[in-house]
């Protein structure tokens, strides 16, 4: 299922403001890639260009190439909605559909995308909740509202919802920032399991988290306020955190930034 992403010469704009510039990288399948860098350097913007969510914002546009293996995601014949199905996203704040049951939250994407029998839906919902390490906690209350779960459980429900449609890539934008330390560890364990099957990209402000969960780390930075964010370097996570090539990376990871 997992696929490689190749980005070449990517710029992203909000109206006339160029938020990121000249980003090129390869994101490997069946691995976790972390994006780190100071606030405003464009990590979330870049993440959203990878599944065509950036252009949902009025006036926002992208220049450059993003390929999901053989497919040019910005090709003229490509439907952005199908890109978002193939490349799923988990957000900072858990956002289950509040009035829907746990079952319906997970089944929502499937119901939008086709006709499934009840037994097919039962199967996918169970498999997705097991995949998100939530099944045992909710199997006896699948018809209760998703909003009744704890924050950490809601985030795992959102991950179950994202994997139910069998994406090839999972993008996670600070998925633990609203969670307590125990729920954070549960999500990190889950990320480590999910990477067997998916290409995972995670934006995080938490250096320890990047060091714990990711195989590769990309450090982004701004030359100055108002300038576009750029990719400074990307390497094995162990290398970035012990012996980065660039001084700006070292300053950032050791807290000497700014």
Ligand X SMILES: Nc1ncnc2c1ncn2[C@@H]1O[C@H](COP(=O)(O)OP(=O)(O)OP(=O)(O)O)[C@@H](O)[C@H]1O
Give the interface with ligand X as residue ranges (CB under 6 A). Answer: 14, 19, 37, 39-45, 57
Cβ count within 10 A of residue 131: 20
Q: How far is the CB of 191 from ligand X (least distance, A)?
A: 19
* Gap between the Cα atoms of 74 and 20, Å rounded: 17
Nearer to ligand X, 36 or 68 (CB): 36
In angstroms, what CA-CA distances link 143 with 101, 106, 154, 229? 5, 11, 15, 45
As a whole number of angstroms, the distance between CA 191 and CA 196 comes to 9
Give the shortest CB-47-to-ligand X separation in angstroms: 8
Burial of 29 (0-12, 13-18, 19+ CB in 10 A): middle
The distance of closest approach from Cβ of residue 57 to ligand X in the complex, given in angstroms and rounded to an integer, is 5
Cα within 13 Å of Cα(125), Cβ side: 22
| Phi, psi dihedrals of residue 90, rounded to the nearest 5° | -120, 135
Q: Which residue's entry shows tokens 């992203």?
A: 12
Shortest reach from residue 125's CB to ligand X, in Å: 32
CB 240 → ligand X: shortest distance, Å? 17
Nearer to ligand X, 48 or 212 (CB): 48
- Please name which of 86, 91, 98, 4 lies closest in space to residue 51, comparing C-alpha atoms: 86
Which is closer to ligand X, CB of 44 or CB of 101? 44
Name the phi and psi angles at 24, rounded to 5. -130, 135
Measured from the CB atom, is 36 or 87 closer to ligand X?
36
Name the nearest CA neighbour of 86 among 70, 63, 97: 70
Q: How far is the CB of 197 from ligand X (least distance, A)?
A: 26
Structural contact between residues 21 and 230, judged by C-beta atoms closer than 8 angstroms? yes
Closer CB to ligand X, 103 or 219, in the complex: 219
Q: Which is nearer to ligand X, 44 or 199 (CB)?
A: 44
* Shortest reach from residue 139's CB to ligand X, in Å: 35
CB nearer to ligand X: give 51 or 101: 51
Residue 157's φ and ψ, nearest 5 degrees, are: -65, -40
Do 218 and 248 form a contact (C-beta atoms < 8 A)? no
């Amino acid at each position: 299922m997992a696929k490689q992403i190749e980005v070449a010469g990517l710029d992203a704009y909000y109206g006339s403001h160029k938020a990121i510039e000249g980003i090129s990288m390869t994101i490997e399948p069946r691995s976790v890639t972390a994006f780190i860098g100071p606030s405003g350097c464009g990590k979330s913007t870049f993440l959203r260009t990878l599944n065509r969510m950036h252009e949902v914002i009025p006036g926002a546009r992208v220049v450059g190439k993003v390929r999901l293996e053989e497919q040019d995601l910005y090709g003229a014949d490509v439907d952005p909605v199908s890109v978002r199905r193939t490349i799923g996203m988990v957000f900072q704040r858990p956002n289950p559909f509040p009035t829907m049951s746990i079952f319906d939250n997970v089944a929502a994407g499937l119901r939008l995308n086709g006709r499934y029998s009840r037994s097919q839906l039962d199967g996918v919902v169970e498999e997705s909740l097991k995949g998100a390490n939530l099944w045992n906690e909710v199997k006896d209350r699948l018809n209760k509202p998703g909003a009744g779960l704890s924050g950490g459980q809601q985030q795992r429900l959102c991950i179950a919802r994202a994997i139910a449609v069998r994406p090839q890539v999972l993008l996670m934008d600070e998925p633990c920032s609203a969670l307590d330390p125990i729920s954070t560890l549960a999500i990190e364990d889950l990320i480590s399991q999910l990477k067997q099957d998916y290409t995972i990209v995670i934006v995080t402000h938490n250096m320890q988290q990047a060091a714990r969960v990711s195989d590769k780390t990309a450090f982004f930075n701004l030359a100055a306020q108002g300038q576009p964010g750029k990719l400074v370097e990307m390497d094995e996570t162990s290398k970035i955190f012990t012996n980065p090539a660039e001084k700006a990376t070292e300053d950032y990871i050791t807290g000497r930034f700014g």
